[in-house]
Amino acid sequence: MEAFLVSLSTVAIAEMGDRTQLLALVLAAHYRRPMPILAGVLCATLANHALAGFIGTYLGSYLTPARLNAVVGISMVGMALWTLKPDALDEGSAAPRRASAFLATCVAFFIAEIGDKTQIATVALAAAYAKLAWVVAGTTLGMFLANAPVVLLGHAFSRRLPLKALHLGASALFALLGLVFIWRAFRHTP
C-alpha cells in the first residue's frame, strides 16, 4: 500500500502546472467533451506509466538495495530541482481538428509524457518498490486526479491555480522523498 500512496501523491502533486496538464486544458477548450478526454488521459497514462514501470522494474533488478536507494534518492532530488522550472505548452501540441477527442488525447498524452518528470518518477518508483501494479496504479490515478479538474472546469480553473506554490510543494515532496531514499541507501551500505 505504501507503493501506491507514495506513487499517487508524488505524481498528483508533480503534475500540477505540468505541460500535460496544460495539454489537458487545450484539449478541453478545443473539444468541449470532457468524458472522451478523461478516458484518453486515463488510457494514455496507463500505457505510458506501465511501460515506464516495466523499465524501472528491469533496472531495479540489477542494483543492490543500497545502490537502488541511492539512485532513486538522487533522481528524486533531481526531480525536485526540475519541478522548480515551470513547463510551457509546446507549439503544435494541440490535437488535429479532425481527430476524435479520445484518440487525439490518447496520442497527445502518450507522446507528451515521454521523458516527462512524472514518467521518470514512475521509473524511479517502480525501481524502488517491488510492487509494479501498485506503482502504476498510483501514478496513473495521480495523473488522472490532477488532470480531471482541469478538463472538467476548463480555462476558468487554470486562472486560479497557484502554480508557483504548487511547484514549490511538489519540489519539496520530491526532495523529501529523495532524502528518505538516500538515508535508506546509507543505512544499507556495509
Phi, psi dihedral angles at 2 (to 5 degrees): -60, -45
Residue tagged 484539449 (cell numbers): 27
Say what the pLDDT of residue 49 is: 92
pTM of the model: 0.68
Q: In this structure, what C-alpha cell is assigned to residue 104?
A: 487525439
CB-based contact 155:25 (threshold 8 Å): yes
Q: How many residues does the chain have?
A: 190
- For the CA atoms of 118, 120, 123, 127, what is the dihedral angle to 10 degrees? -110
Burial class (CB in 10 A: 0-12, 13-18, 19+), 162: exposed
| Euclidean distance between CA atoms 50 and 35, whole angstroms | 22
CB–CB of 81/142 below 8 Å?
no
Inter-axis angle of helices 117-128 and 34-60, nearest 10: 40
The pLDDT, as a whole number, for residue 89 is 47
pLDDT at 33: 80
CB-CB contact of 24 with 93 (8 Å): no
Domain ranges across the chain: 2-188
Q: What is the DSSP annotation of 91-103?
A: TT-SPPTTS-HHH
Q: Name the maximum alpha-carbon separation found in the chain.
A: 60
Render each residue's pLDDT in the chain as its tens digit; 190 residues: 888 998 898 888 878 877 777 778 777 877 778 899 999 999 999 999 999 999 888 887 777 777 767 776 787 677 677 767 655 544 444 444 445 889 988 888 888 787 777 888 888 888 888 889 999 999 999 999 999 988 888 755 555 656 577 667 767 777 887 788 788 778 866 6
